[in-house]
């Protein structure tokens, strides 16, 4: 079989770290560096446009962590993490990273990681390459990432007023704006802090801190008036859950 | 808490001493009057105990009027009055009690036996003895309070020592932040081929930084200039990693350079500014370090821009809490830590009493 080049993207916010990886890669003619990114946003963009085979990824980066980058890539390539922190190793395994390099790493150790990725790419185990997106998020969720074309919105959960179900999407309402994200309500509900976010209705998850008051709407049904005046329907079961919390 | 009343053994000893002393006065009466011992004991024991307990109240007066903070006139008036009241009450209650015992007719009249002492010029002497006893007990209380305070200040001293050592240990451990070390070593590893000169420079900076940290960690206080030099090493190393993203602006009032501060009190704040501020910003920013003097207080400020979308991670508060508890143990209430946090920046200001290096 003819040897193919492995199209690789390097992601690290530190210039010397990228320099080192570039140098280590230069000894491997089959590794073609198609992009170097200094932050998560660039990495998401590069992955979307260039569809690389391999991502060598730092974890602690501004705005988007390495894990969040993975969450935002639709068709994730093979991943090698490179970080000074050993506490993320378990999560790295959960997303089926090829390898986990601890800085500072030797050239031999780096070559080993590349070899592992090479083998995996030659004989792909498709199931293994699919990151389990569900396990990516920390629990409870601190922020929600929404992709909007090539842009990424980072929404801290504290800023959310409420979330509305819309078919296969959820519409996240913050400060009069709404962001559409492809996710199921039940899945999102599980990830959010249950002390703060309550599924008050089949179609609504409510941030309890935004509630100004609750009014009777009809028999067995109530409506929450939010601090900005928005009204959100509450089902009977939802009201019971709210009462338990408040 | 009353030192004698709250301690049953002390109370027993105290009352026993009173009873023995009181009974000594009664020995001549036992010898003069036949069969008087029973009414005397019945009358005198409660009377002596009553006065003894009354004298204990002087502790609260001693507490309210500490020797160092009260004028002689105050002390004279307060204790004179208290002694007179205690004596009058004791004699009043005692007289009633004695007449009660006499009513029981268990022996010769106690009042009659006492008469030579409690009438005429002798009554004045009896009055004076009681007053002096009250004042004597007050003096004893002052002595007890003095020892109590001594004990407390000793205990405080030991506690402070322990806390300081603990803080030093923690500061040192935080100092050798493993991720800082690993990332720096990674940078050096990268530079060895690309820029050997800079790699060597960084190795030396790193060595300097750790040597200084270990050295100052063993001292009680270092100068602002020393702490800033340490911080400068630290920031230079971080600048190799972060490049243009990390900018530093310093405004150091020259008169602060020789001021003393506990070692490694400012450095953790600068490290926080890098880790939780600059490192979370795409384009980085400027860390501002200020040192100035204001009304005999040394003001040290570290300010950094923050990313409004990044939520503060765990660990941010820990560094500040350590700094706060260290300053509190060292300076009590004369040092302060002020934290200002907005969407755009994070600022910590330490306010420490000015203490200058004599050298």
A26 touches chain B (CB under 8 A): no
Average model confidence (pLDDT) for chain A? 87
| Cβ–Cβ gap A20/B189 under 8 Å | yes
Cα of B246 to nearest chain A Cα, Å: 11
Predicted confidence at residue B213, as pLDDT, reads: 84
Residues in chain B closer than 8 A to A104 (CB atoms): 182, 185-186, 188-189
Q: Is the dihedral of CA B96, B100, B102, B106 positive or negative?
A: negative
Cα of A30 to nearest chain B Cα, Å: 22
Cα of A221 to nearest chain B Cα, Å: 36
Residue A16 is nearest to which of B241, B245, B280, comparing CB atoms? B241
pLDDT digits (tens, 9 = 90+) for A50-98: 999 999 999 999 888 999 999 888 888 999 999 998 889 888 888 889 9
Q: Model's pTM, two decimal places? A: 0.63
B190 touches chain A (CB under 8 A): yes
A85 touches chain B (CB under 8 A): yes
Closest CA to A188 of A243, A242, A146: A146
Predicted confidence at residue B315, as pLDDT, reads: 53
| Cβ–Cβ gap A154/B280 under 8 Å | no
A196 touches chain B (CB under 8 A): no
Residues in chain B closer than 8 A to A15 (CB atoms): 241, 243
Residue A166 has pLDDT above 50, yes or no: yes
Which helix H or strand E contains B306, and what residues bound it?
A: none
Residue B215 has pLDDT above 90, yes or no: no
Cα of B309 to nearest chain A Cα, Å: 6
Predicted confidence at residue B124, as pLDDT, reads: 87
A16 touches chain B (CB under 8 A): yes
| Cβ–Cβ gap B282/A143 under 8 Å | no
Q: Where residue B171 falls among pLDDT bands split at 50, 70, 90?
A: low
Predicted confidence at residue B175, as pLDDT, reads: 56
Average model confidence (pLDDT) for chain B? 87
pLDDT digits (tens, 9 = 90+) for B308-344: 877 655 555 667 887 888 888 788 789 999 999 988 9
Predicted confidence at residue A1, as pLDDT, reads: 44
Burial of A228: CB neighbours in 10 Å, binned 0-12, 13-18, 19+: exposed
pLDDT digits (tens, 9 = 90+) for A102-133: 999 999 999 999 999 998 888 766 555 455 54
Q: Where residue B116 falls among pLDDT bands split at 50, 70, 90?
A: confident
pLDDT digits (tens, 9 = 90+) for A198-233: 999 999 999 988 988 888 887 778 898 988 888 888
Segment A21-45 shows an average pLDDT of: 94
Quickly tell me which residue has 């770290």 as its tokens: A17
Compare all CA atoms of chain A with the CA of B276 and give the residue at the minimum distance.
Answer: A62
Using CB atoms and an 8 Å cut-off, which of residues 204-243 of chain B contact chain A?
A: 240-243
pLDDT digits (tens, 9 = 90+) for B273-293: 998 899 989 899 999 999 999
Residue B240 is nearest to which of A16, A63, A85, comparing CB atoms? A16
B311: left (phi over 0), alpha (psi -120 to 50) or beta: beta
A35 touches chain B (CB under 8 A): no
B203 touches chain A (CB under 8 A): no
For chain B, what is the total number of helices (H) and then of strands (E)? 11, 7
* Contact yes or no for A158/A210 (Cβ under 8 A): no
Which helix H or strand E contains B235, and what residues bound it?
A: helix B224-242
Helix, strand or coil, per DSSP, at residue A128: helix
A23 touches chain B (CB under 8 A): yes
Residue A15 is nearest to which of B193, B243, B310, comparing CB atoms? B243
Domains parsed from chain A with CATH numbers:
6-134 (3.40.50.2300), 143-245 (2.40.50.1020)
Whole-number Å distance between alpha carbons of B4 and B9:
8
Cα of B193 to nearest chain A Cα, Å: 9
* Contact yes or no for B178/A7 (Cβ under 8 A): no
% residues pLDDT > 90 (chain A): 41
Please name every residue paired with B337 in a beta bridge, in sequence order, or none if there are none: B350
Predicted confidence at residue A135, as pLDDT, reads: 47
Tell me what ipTM this predicted complex has. Answer: 0.70
Residue A23 is nearest to which of B185, B194, B307, comparing CB atoms? B194
Residue B168 has pLDDT above 70, yes or no: no
Q: Where residue A139 falls among pLDDT bands split at 50, 70, 90?
A: low
* Contact yes or no for A206/A200 (Cβ under 8 A): yes
Within 8 A by CB and 6+ apart from B307, the residues are A62, A63, B280, B281
SS3 content of chain A, % helix, strand, coil (to 5): 35, 35, 35
Q: Where residue A2 falls among pLDDT bands split at 50, 70, 90?
A: very low
Size of interface A-B (CB pairs under 8 A): 69
Please name every residue paired with A81 in a beta bridge, in sequence order, or none if there are none: A57, A100
| Cβ–Cβ gap A84/B307 under 8 Å | no
Q: What's the token pair of residue B333?
A: 């209430």
Beta-strand pair A54-57/A31-37: unpaired
* Contact yes or no for A48/A3 (Cβ under 8 A): no
Beta-strand pair A177-182/A197-201: unpaired
Predicted confidence at residue A138, as pLDDT, reads: 59
Mutation pick from B186, B275, B276 vs chain A, by most beta carbons of A within 10 Å, is: B186
């Amino acid at each position: 079989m003819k040897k193919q080049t492995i199209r690789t993207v390097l992601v690290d916010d530190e210039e010397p770290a990228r320099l080192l990886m570039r140098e280590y890669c230069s000894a491997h003619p089959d590794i073609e560096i198609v992009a170097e990114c200094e932050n998560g946003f660039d990495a998401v963009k590069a992955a979307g446009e260039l569809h690389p085979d391999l991502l060598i990824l730092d974890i602690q980066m501004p705005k988007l962590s390495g894990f969040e980058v993975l969450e935002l890539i639709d068709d994730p390539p093979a991943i090698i993490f490179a970080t000074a922190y050993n506490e993320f190793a378990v999560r790295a395994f959960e997303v089926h990273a090829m390898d986990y390099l601890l800085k500072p790493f030797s050239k031999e150790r780096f070559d080993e990681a590349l070899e592992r990725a090479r083998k995996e790419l030659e004989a792909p185990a498709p199931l293994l390459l699919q990151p389990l997106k569900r396990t990516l998020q920390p629990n409870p969720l601190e922020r929600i990432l929404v992709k909007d074309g090539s842009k990424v919105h980072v929404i801290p959960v504290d800023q959310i007023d409420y979330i509305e179900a819309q078919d296969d999407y959820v519409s996240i309402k913050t400060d009069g704006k709404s962001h559409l994200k492809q996710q199921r309500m039940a899945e999102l509900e599980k990830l959010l802090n249950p002390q703060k976010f309550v599924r008050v209705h089949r179609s609504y998850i409510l941030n309890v801190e935004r509630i100004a008051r609750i009014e009777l709407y009809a028999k067995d049904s109530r409506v929450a008036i939010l601090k900005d005046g928005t009204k959100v329907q509450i089902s009977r079961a939802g009201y019971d859950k709210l009462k338990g919390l408040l | 808490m009353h030192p004698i009343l709250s301690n049953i053994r002390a109370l027993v000893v105290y009352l026993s001493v009173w009873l023995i002393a009181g009974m000594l006065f009664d020995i001549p009466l036992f010898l003069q009057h036949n069969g008087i011992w029973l009414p005397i004991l019945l009358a005198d024991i409660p009377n002596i105990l009553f006065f003894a307990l009354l004298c204990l109240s002087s502790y609260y007066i001693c507490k309210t009027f500490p020797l160092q903070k009260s004028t002689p006139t105050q002390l004279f008036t307060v204790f004179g009055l208290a002694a007179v009241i205690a004596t009058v009450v004791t004699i009043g209650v005692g007289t009633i009690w004695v007449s009660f015992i006499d009513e029981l007719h268990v022996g010769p009249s106690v009042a009659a036996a006492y008469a030579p002492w409690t009438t005429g010029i002798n009554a004045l002497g009896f009055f004076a003895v009681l007053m002096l006893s009250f004042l004597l007990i007050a003096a004893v209380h002052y002595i007890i309070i003095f020892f109590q305070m001594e004990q407390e200040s000793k205990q405080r001293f030991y506690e402070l020592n322990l806390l300081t050592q603990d803080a030093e240990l923690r500061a040192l451990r935080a100092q050798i932040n493993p991720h800082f070390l690993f990332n720096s070593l990674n940078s050096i590893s990268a530079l060895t081929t690309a820029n050997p000169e800079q790699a060597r420079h960084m190795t030396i900076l790193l060595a300097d930084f750790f040597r200084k940290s270990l050295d100052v960690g063993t001292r009680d206080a270092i100068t602002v200039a020393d702490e800033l030099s340490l911080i400068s090493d630290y920031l230079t190393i971080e600048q190799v990693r972060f490049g243009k993203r990390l900018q530093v602006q310093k405004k150091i009032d020259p008169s602060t350079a020789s001021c003393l501060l506990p070692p490694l009190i400012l450095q953790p704040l600068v490290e926080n500014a890098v880790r939780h501020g600059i490192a979370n910003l795409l384009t980085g920013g400027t860390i501002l370090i200020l040192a100035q003097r204001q009304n005999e207080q040394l003001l040290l400020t570290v300010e950094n821009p923050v990313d409004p979308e990044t939520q503060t991670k765990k660990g941010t508060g820990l560094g500040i809490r350590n700094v706060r508890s260290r300053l509190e143990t060292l300076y009590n209430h004369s040092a302060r830590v002020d934290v200002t946090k907005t969407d755009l920046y994070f600022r910590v200001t330490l306010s420490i009493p000015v203490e200058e290096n004599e050298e």
